[in-house]
Amino acid sequence: MKLLELNHVVKSFGELSVLKDISLSVEEGEIVSIIGPSGSGKSTLLRCATMLETMDRGEVIYLGRKAAWTGENGRAVYAGKKELKEIRSQYGLVFQNFNLFPHYSVMKNITDAPLHVQKRDRETVFREARELLKKMGLEDKEDAYPYQLSGGQCQRVAIARALALNPKILFFDEPTSALDPELTGEVLKVIRSLADLHIAMVIVTHEMAFAKDISHRVIFMADGVIVEEGAPERVFSSDNERTQSFLGRYGTIL
């Protein structure tokens, strides 16, 4: 079954049309990168998929369950509160600027939602949280507060926080755009290491080498439409004019 299906998603902000009929789907365990110039609608697409943004029209389906669809009046209709809450538990999102809770320690940032939203057993939650921190290379930081960490460490905590809820699909919204090259490297290394967890990942990124290397599929977006999608080798060696003009510099530099 498809984990996520987006069908004919349309979104505009006032006069500005940001998403013009976008459809895409994500299979179990699949890693999909979304690339494209700034302002092409990548982040908005992610925000519509995670329901942080209300789309104008279209369908959002997680594991066959409809979260939103186009109603008879042509506007998007969202499922009921309870249904949405259950659907939301299927996915996680890592933000560009982390959005950690500054008043919670690293450990509490990771464990609070599993404990108080999912109401899972305390011992299991803490054990899993420690395993996650170890995986993130932060085992000595469980009592630290976000302000005491570097940007890269914060982003790794944010990834651990998202993973602690055991999502089936994890979205990344430009996870390294707020970081310098060195910190970017450490975060990308961590994301790469998640590949063998077999969680589906949808990554909006400007790190072309990373996207090419990690993805099963690359989607190139421009001006609110999907220009091209396919295996990374194919997209990166595409002869589509728009794709080439975006990736052109990338090709010549490397």
Task: Give residues in contact with another protein (CB under 8 A).
Answer: 50, 52, 85, 88-89, 92-93, 95, 97, 99-103, 112-113, 116-118, 145-147, 161-162, 165
Angle 165-166-170 (CA atoms, 0-180°, nearest 5)? 95
Least distance between another protein and beta carbon 113 (Å): 4
Residue 136 to residues 10, 132, 144, 160, 237, Cα–Cα distance (Å): 37, 6, 15, 7, 33
- Residue placing its CB nearer to another protein in the complex, 107 or 247: 107
For another protein, the closer CB: 203 or 226: 203
Shortest CB 34 distance to another protein, Å:
18
Our CB check for another protein shows the closer of 69 and 145 to be 145
Strand order in the sheet with 57-62: 16-27, 2-13, 57-62, 65-70, 76-78
The answer to whether 67 touches 60, Cβ cutoff 8 Å, is yes
CB of 30 to another protein, least distance (A): 20
What DSSP element (H or E) covers 208? helix 208-214
Q: In the bound complex, what is the minimum distance in angstroms from residue 208's beta carbon to another protein?
A: 26
Question: What single-letter DSSP state applies at residue 79?
Answer: P
Q: Which is nearer to another protein, 38 or 147 (CB)?
A: 147
Could you give the CA distance from residue 175 to residue 177 in angstroms, rounded to a whole number?
6
